[in-house]
Amino acid sequence: MSGIFVTGTDTDVGKTEVAAGLLAALKARGVVVVGMKPVAAGCVDTDAGPRSEDALKLGAAGSIEVDYQDINPYALADPVAPHIVAGQTGVDIELGRIERAFATLSEQADMVVVEGAGGWCVPLGPSLSMSDLPGALDIPVVLVVGLRLGCLNHSLLTAESIRARGVRLAGWVANQIDPDMAALDENIATLAALLGAPSLGVVPRLDLPRPEVVAEYLDVQPLLR
């Protein structure tokens, strides 16, 4: 397996923390891994150019140092939907550029952990969506489920759409973003029964979700088979 694509049931469900945790867990298994954030919005200007906080986290969690431009080919300024800010700034998000960056990273590592932006179907342009990337890169998907009211519907709809595009759902991670969620265990049990993919772990609400801490709650063995 050359990589995995990390998507979520929505924005702000902890994709970056889980993706970095997966990197840490795989690295602990002796896998040479690198992170990738193909498209990021809400970047800040630095002397080296625009930088995404999420992309920098993924870069730091990897096994080796790689060029930032390969980690994050499209670094967009405003924290709004990528296709909107891209259109406003005259940027055309091209699949080929993402594929080339992924290929470069794949040559340097055993596995590339690719994190999407927002949810599964976020548009990237008039004819390109985030959901196009896993098929184009030929990698399966890991779904991050933000545990809160409504997560069952969002999870099942996302899993259905993933499979409808001919992409394999390699596993899912439950992330407790609502510390007061009612019937937490029952919701997790329902997800396990209905998603039809391996559970890679349940991450509790963490004050400091450092990659090595998140990794303690993850089982990456199903990704190595």
37 is catalytic: yes
Domain 3-224 fold is Rossmann fold (3.40.50)
| CA-wise closest residue to 191 among 142, 131, 141, 147 | 147
> Domain residues of the chain, as ranges?
3-224
Sheet with 169-175: list strands edge to edge. 33-36, 111-115, 3-8, 141-146, 169-175, 199-203
Strand-strand pairing, 111-115 and 3-8? parallel
Query: What is the C-alpha to C-alpha distance for residues 223 and 225, in angstroms, rounded to an integer?
Result: 6
**pLDDT given at position 78:** 86
pTM of the model: 0.96
Question: Catalytic: which of 15, 27, 37, 57?
Answer: 37
Query: What is the C-alpha to C-alpha distance for residues 26 and 86, in angstroms, rounded to an integer?
Result: 33
Burial zone of 99 (CB within 10 Å; 0-12 exposed, 13-18 middle, 19+ buried): middle
**pLDDT tens digits in sequence order for the chain, 225 residues long:** 689 999 999 999 999 999 999 999 999 999 999 999 999 999 999 988 899 999 999 999 999 999 999 999 999 988 889 999 999 988 999 999 999 999 999 999 999 999 999 999 999 999 999 999 999 999 999 999 999 999 999 999 999 999 999 999 999 999 999 999 999 999 999 999 999 999 999 999 999 999 999 999 999 999 998
**pLDDT given at position 1:** 60
**pLDDT given at position 79:** 87
Residue whose structure tokens are 């779904």: 143
pLDDT tens readout for residues 202-218: 999 999 999 999 999 99
